[in-house]
Structure 1
Amino acid sequence: MKIWSHVILSLNLLTMVVTQSIIKTLPGFQGDLPFTFETGYIGAGDLDDVQLFYYFIESERSPKDDPLMLWLTGGPGCSAFSGLVYEIGPLQFDYAKSSGNKPVFTLNPYSWTKVANIIFLDSPVGTGFSYSNTWQGYNVSDTITAEQVYEFLRKWLMDHPKFLTNPLYIAGDSYSGKIVPIVVQEISDGNEVGHQPPLNLKGYVLGNPVTDEAKDLNSRVLYAQLKALISDELYESTKLNCMGEYIHPDPSNALCIKDLQNVTDCIGRLYTANILEPNCAVISPKPMGLKWDRGALVNDYVDVLLSTPNLPGPWCRSYNYLYSYIWANDKTVQEALYIREGTKEEWDRCNKSLSYLYNVLNALPYHRNLIKKGYRVLIYSGDQDLAIPYVGTQAWIKSLNLTIDSDWAPWFVDGQVAGYTVEYKYNKYSLTFATVKGGGHTAPEYKPKECFAMLERWLAYYAL
C-alpha cells in the first residue's frame, strides 16, 4: 500500500498545479523591493485538499550558489511571516515610523537571506494563510505535518528546478524543534528509496528547540539555580525531595510539592521568553510556574494587544506583534500577496485553535537515527530563555554520545563574546551547539547581528 501511495504521489507531482506570484511592491514599504520575493500555494494531502502558503525570498548574494533553506516557525501554528519579520527575514517593522493602522517596513541588515535562499512556510495547515478545502484536512499531527512539508518541498522544487542542486537545509525554532528532524528523516528516507526529485539535503538548523517536552521543562529548575533565580539551598532541597522530577511529581509527596511551590514563587512571574525583559501578562497575571503551556511561548492575543499599548506601564515585546495583525489582515495587503479570497476569516500570528495531535512526545530518536546519515547540524539557544532552557538542550545533545571535536569556548562578534559553542563529530556527521548571549526565545529576535554572524560562518564551514 505504501509503495502504491508513492506511485500516486509521483504522478501527482507530474500533474500538480502550483500558484505563485512575484511581488514587486508591498504596502508599508516605499519603492520596489530590493530582492526577489515570491508567494504562492502548493497542495498537499489527499487530492491536494491542504493548500500550504509560502513566502520565498531569493538570496540577496548569489541565488545560484547559496543554500536553499526551508524555515518553519514554531507554535505549532505560528505563521512563517512571524519568522520573516521578527527574526530572520529581510523586512522588519519600523516601530519609530509606524503608527496606528499604518505599519511601515524597513530593511533588516542582518537578514539570513543575505546568504541563503529561504522558503518561509505556513505549516501546519491552519497556520497563517494556509488552509484546507475540507474540514478533515485540518486534523493534523506532528507526523502528518512532517509528511506534508516533505510533499510541499518536492513539489516546490519540481516547480523551481534551478534550485535542485543548491545545498538544502531544513530550519526552524521552538516547537519546530520536533518537526524539523521528522522532516529531515522523511527526506532522507525518500532519497534512499528513489523519490523524485532527489533533494540535495545537507543538514538542519534548530533554534531554542522543543525536543522532549518533559525533559526540556524539567531543566527549568537547574536553569533557575544557575541564573540565581532560586537559591542553592532551594535547588538542592527540590532536587532531593522531588528526585529530579519537577513536571510530573508525586502529588502525595508533600515536601516536593512545597519546594516546587517555592520555585514557582521565585520564577512564576518572569517573562519566560527572556528573563531580562518585563513580563506583560495579556490574559491573566497568574504565574505559569513550572507548568507546560505552549501558548506561553507565543503569548499574544490581538484583542488584548489592541488596547495594551495605550495603558501606562513598561514596554513589552509583545506590543511589537500588534503590527503583524494590522498588516496581514489588511485587504490591500492580502491582494498584494495574492491571498485567495474567502480562505481565511482572520489571520493570526499564532493560531491557538488548531485541531492538532501531539503524537511525537520525544524527537530525540530522530536525532539519533540521523547521526549515521552524515548531515551537518546547527543548534543554538538564547541563554536568557526560560521557556526552553539551554541546559536541557545541552543535556539531550550530550546523550547522543558524540565525540567532542572542539570543546566549549566563546565565539565573538565585533570583538565581543557573542556566546559559547562546542562542536561534535561522528564520522561525517557534525553538530555545532551554540549559546547566544542575551538571546531569548527565539534568539534572532533578540540578537539579530550575532545570529546572522553565527549562521553565515556555519554555512561557510567556518568555526563560529
Structure 2
Amino acid sequence: MATAARWLLPQSKHKPLIPALVLLVFASQSLCCYSAGSSEQERDRVAFLPGQPRSPQVSHFSGHVTVNEKNGRALFYWFFEAQEQPAHKPLLLWLNGGPGCSSVGYGAASELGPLRVSTFAAGLEFNKFAWNKEANLLFLESPVGVGFSYTNTSSDLTSLSDDFVAEDAYNFLVNWFKRFPQYKDREFYISGESYAGHYVPQLADLVYERNKDRKANTYINFKGFIVGNPITDDYYDSKGLAEYAWSHAVVSDELYDQIKKVCDFRASNWTDDCDKAMSTIFRQYHEIDIYNIYAPKCNLAQTSVSSSADEALKYSDHEPFRRRIRMFSGYDECYSSYAQKYFNKADVQIALHANLNGMHPGKWQVCSDSILRSYNFSVVSVLPIYAKLIKAGLRVWLYSGDADGRVPVIGSRYCVEALALPIKTQWQPWYLNQQVAGRFVEYHGMTMVTIRGAGHLVPLNKPAEGLTLIDTFLLGKQLPTHR
C-alpha cells in the first residue's frame, strides 16, 4: 500500500469486551454542583488508585459511557475536576491519536493529567503542571477498541473511520453531560495531538452543526479547539516531513533532491520510487527518536509484543514509544511502558471501574496496532473544516513542538499558511522564565504557536510551557511577548 496514510499505519487481534455492572461504595467527597445524575456520578467516582499520592487530594471519576446501545458499544473516560474552583472553570476534552492510542495512557498518565505514572515505582506521582489547574479535564479513549473502550459487535472494529469516530465521540459527549449535567452549560473546548489533528476538528464540526438544532436539547456550549503537532493535510504533512529531515541534517542533499524529483505528495498513491525514497528517510530514524530528534533514543531490547524497528517506522505513528527505559536526560523518552505496566494491574482496573468483571480479552495497550491496521483512511485534509469554523468565530489554535520529526513544524506552517488568513500580529518569540519558549503568529481567526525544544508530546517534553500555552488559550489572551 503506497499511500500517504500508510505512514500512520499499524498488534494483536483486539476482541470485544463484555461489560458488567458492579456497584462499589466510594469515599464520600463533595461534588461541585451536585444534581441530577448524581448517583451515576458517584458510582464513577475513583476513591483512590493504587500508588496514588495522599496529597494533594484529586477529585476524579472514570467509567464507561454507552455510545451505541444496539451494538453494545461504550467508550471509557477519565475525568478530573479542576484543582481550584471547578464550578468556575471551563471543560476541556483531550484526545490522543494514532489512530489507536490511548488518551488515558498518553494524555492523562504521561503528559498533562494530575496523576502521572511514576518512572521509579509502580505507582503515581502528582504533576504540578497538570492542565486541570486551568480547566475541568476530560480524557476519552477513542475510537472503540482503544484501551478500555469496547464493543459487543466485532464488525465495529473494521468499520472505523473519521466519520465513525466523530459520531461516537459526539454521542459520548451527549450522554456524558446527562451523567454530569452541572457541566452542560460550561464553556467547552476540545484539544488533542497527532492523529487527533483529524479527530478534534471533525468532532468540533459535528458539535457546531448539531448545535444548530436547539430543539434537540443537546446544545453544547462549544467555544473552540486547540491541536498539537497535528496530522492535518496529507500533502503538506508529507512535504514537511521530508523537508524537515533534510533541513535538520537527518538525510543527505542527494536523497532530498531525489524525493523532490520522484514524489508527488498530492497523489493518493505514491510511486514505487517515491515509496523507496521515503522509506530511506524512515530508516535514518532507526538510530534516533523521530518524535523528538534531539532527545536520547529508547534502547530497550525487542520484546514479543514489539514490531521490528523497520515496521514500526514504516507503518506506525506510535511504535517507538512502546520500548521504553529510563535515561538520565531530563526527558524520559521511554515513558509509555510505565503506563502500560500500571494499567494492566488488576487492582488499578478495578479502582478505575475499567475491567471489574475480569473479562478483558487481553492486555491493556497504550496503542492498538489492530486499530491502526484496520482503520479506514479516507480524509486527506481537514483544512476545509478549519476555514469553516474560523469563519464561524470559534477560537482555533495550532501548536507544534519544533523537535518533532514525525509531524514537523514545517508541515504545520504550510497547512496554516494555506488557509490564507490575514495576519494580525507577525511571527515573534514568546517567553517563559525569561527565556524564549517558542514563537507564534496571530492571524485573524487563528493562532499558531511553536514550543522550542519540544517533540511530539509537548506537555511531556515541556510541561511548564504546555501549561502556559493552555492557560493562554482558554483565557483567549496573547502569549507573553516580553522577558
TM normalised by structure 1 equals 0.84
Query: Which stretch has the larger CA shift, 432-441 or 256-265?
Result: 256-265
Find out whether 1:347 has 2:397 as its counterpart.
Answer: no
Find out whether 1:143 has 2:167 as its counterpart.
Answer: no
- Rounded to whole Å, the distance in 1 between the matches of 2:254 and 2:289 is 24
SS at match of 2:370: coil
Query: Which stretch has the larger CA shift, 144-153 or 189-198?
Result: 189-198
Show the counterpart of 2:190: 170
Closer/same/farther in 2, CA of residues 315 and 64 from structure 1, 3 Å limit:
closer
Closer/same/farther in 2, CA of residues 175 and 288 from structure 1, 3 Å limit:
same
Find out whether 1:224 has 2:248 as its counterpart.
Answer: no
- Rounded to whole Å, the distance in 1 between the matches of 2:275 and 2:211 is 50
- AA matched with 2:337: L
Show the counterpart of 1:51: 74
SS at match of 1:371: helix
SS at match of 2:86: coil
Show the counterpart of 1:85: 109
1:335 is displaced (CA, Å) by 1.3
Show the counterpart of 2:288: 270
Show the counterpart of 1:432: 447
2:387 equivalent among 368, 388, 392 = 368
Show the counterpart of 2:345: 330
Moved over 6 A (4+): 243-247, 256-259, 312-316
Find out whether 1:159 has 2:179 as its counterpart.
Answer: yes
- Rounded to whole Å, the distance in 2 between the matches of 1:48 and 1:434 is 41
Contact 1:218–1:247 at 8 Å: present in 2 too? no
Closer/same/farther in 2, CA of residues 141 and 263 from structure 1, 3 Å limit:
closer
Contact 2:312–2:319 at 8 Å: present in 1 too? no
- Rounded to whole Å, the distance in 2 between the matches of 1:55 and 1:403 is 39
Matches within 5 A, 1:89-128: 89-96=113-120, 98=121, 103-128=122-147
1:78 is displaced (CA, Å) by 1.2
Show the counterpart of 2:429: 410
Contact 1:57–1:113 at 8 Å: present in 2 too? yes
SS at match of 1:47: coil
1:188 equivalent among 192, 205, 208 = 208
- Rounded to whole Å, the distance in 2 between the matches of 1:361 and 1:244 is 11
- Rounded to whole Å, the distance in 1 between the matches of 2:129 and 2:476 is 19
Closer/same/farther in 2, CA of residues 374 and 250 from structure 1, 3 Å limit:
same
SS at match of 1:359: coil
Matched residues, number: 429
1:203 is displaced (CA, Å) by 0.2
Find out whether 1:64 has 2:87 as its counterpart.
Answer: yes
* CA distances 1:361-398 after superposition (whole Å, capped 9, x unpaired): 32222222222211001211110000011111111111
Find out whether 1:382 has 2:405 as its counterpart.
Answer: no
- Rounded to whole Å, the distance in 1 between the matches of 2:57 and 2:331 is 31
- Rounded to whole Å, the distance in 2 between the matches of 1:352 and 1:287 is 11
1:287 is displaced (CA, Å) by 8.2
Contact 2:79–2:139 at 8 Å: present in 1 too? yes
* CA distances 1:405-463 after superposition (whole Å, capped 9, x unpaired): 111001111010111101111xxxx2111111111112111111111111112212221
* CA distances 1:116-145 after superposition (whole Å, capped 9, x unpaired): 001101111111111112223333221111
Closer/same/farther in 2, CA of residues 85 and 239 from structure 1, 3 Å limit:
same
Where structure 1 has 5 or more consecutive residues not aligned to the other structure, the ranges are 1-13
1:46 is displaced (CA, Å) by 4.5
Contact 2:129–2:463 at 8 Å: present in 1 too? yes
Where structure 2 has 5 or more consecutive residues not aligned to the other structure, the ranges are 1-35
Query: Which stretch has the larger CA shift, 201-210 or 346-355?
Result: 346-355
Find out whether 1:40 has 2:45 as its counterpart.
Answer: no
- AA matched with 2:113: G
Contact 1:91–1:106 at 8 Å: present in 2 too? yes
SS at match of 1:140: coil
SS at match of 1:64: helix
1:156 is displaced (CA, Å) by 1.0
1:422 equivalent among 411, 420, 441 = 441
1:454 equivalent among 469, 475, 483 = 469
- AA matched with 1:461: G
- Rounded to whole Å, the distance in 2 between the matches of 1:324 and 1:264 is 26
SS at match of 2:348: helix
- Rounded to whole Å, the distance in 1 between the matches of 2:152 and 2:280 is 49
* CA distances 1:310-354 after superposition (whole Å, capped 9, x unpaired): 9x9999945322221221111111111122424522211111112
Show the counterpart of 1:5: none
Contact 2:325–2:335 at 8 Å: present in 1 too? no
Closer/same/farther in 2, CA of residues 318 and 284 from structure 1, 3 Å limit:
farther
1:264 is displaced (CA, Å) by 5.7
- Rounded to whole Å, the distance in 2 between the matches of 1:249 and 1:356 is 19
Identity of aligned residues (%): 33
Contact 2:117–2:123 at 8 Å: present in 1 too? yes
